[in-house]
Amino acid sequence: MEASCWLSTGLVRRLIELPSPPLSRHQLKRLEEHSSWRLDWETWLQPQTHLRRFDVVSTAEQIPGRRQRALLKLDCNQASPRRYSSCGRSLLEPLMQCYWEWLVGRVPSWIAPNLITIIGLATNVFTTLVLVYYCPTATEQAPLWAYLLCAVGLFVYQSLDAIDGKQARRTNSSSPLGELFDHGCDSLSTVFVVLGTSIAVQMGTNPDWMFFCCFAGMFMFYCAHWQTYVSGTLRFGIIDVTEVQIFIILMYLLAAVGGAAFWQSLVSPAGTHTHTHPRLHVAALTLPSARLCSQIPVLNIQMKMVPAVCTFLGAIFSCTNYFRVIFTGGVGKNGSTIAGTSVLSPVLHIGSVITLAVMIYKKSAVQLFEKHPCLYILAFGFVSAKITNKLVVAHMTKSEMHLHDLVFLGPGLLFLDQYFNSFIDEYLVLWIALVISFFDLVRYCVSVCNQIACHLHICVFKIKP
For residue 29, tell me if it sits in a domain. Answer: no
For residue 44, tell me if it sits in a domain. Answer: no
pLDDT in tens, 158-209: 999 999 888 988 888 888 888 889 999 999 999 999 999 999 999 999 999 9
For residue 4, tell me if it sits in a domain. Answer: no
Mean pLDDT over all residues of the chain? 79
Structurally, the chain folds into a number of domains equal to 1
Q: How does DSSP classify residue 267?
A: E
For residue 319, tell me if it sits in a domain. Answer: yes
From 183, 225, 273, 395, the catalytic residue: 183
Residue 357 has pLDDT above 90, yes or no: yes
Nearest to 458 by CA among 176, 182, 183: 176
For residue 156, count CB atoms less than 10 angstroms from its CB and return exposed for 0-12, middle for 13-18, buried for 19 or more. Answer: middle
For residue 338, tell me if it sits in a domain. Answer: yes
Full residue range of the structural domain in which residue 168 is found:
105-267+301-456
- How far is the C-alpha of 64 from the C-alpha of 39, rounded, in Å? 10
Structure-model confidence comparison of residues 9 and 176, the more confident one: 176
pLDDT at 304: 81
- How far is the C-alpha of 131 from the C-alpha of 196, rounded, in Å? 7
Categorize the per-residue pLDDT at 221 as very low, low, confident or very high, splitting at 50, 70 and 90.
very high
Structure-model confidence comparison of residues 118 and 398, the more confident one: 118
For residue 56, tell me if it sits in a domain. Answer: no
| Mean pLDDT lowest among 90-94, 201-205, 264-268, 397-401 | 264-268
| Mean pLDDT lowest among 46-60, 98-112, 256-270, 406-420 | 46-60
Q: Give the residue-averaged pLDDT of 373-390.
A: 96
Residue 112 has pLDDT above 80, yes or no: yes
Categorize the per-residue pLDDT at 37 as very low, low, confident or very high, splitting at 50, 70 and 90.
very low
* Residues 436/380, Cβ–Cβ less than 8 Å: no
For residue 327, tell me if it sits in a domain. Answer: yes
* Residues 449/460, Cβ–Cβ less than 8 Å: yes
Strands 266-267 and 301-302: antiparallel
For residue 441, tell me if it sits in a domain. Answer: yes
Categorize the per-residue pLDDT at 284 as very low, low, confident or very high, splitting at 50, 70 and 90.
very low
Does the annotation count 281 as an active-site position? Answer: no
Q: Give the residue-averaged pLDDT of 256-273.
A: 65
Q: Give the residue-averaged pLDDT of 225-229.
A: 91
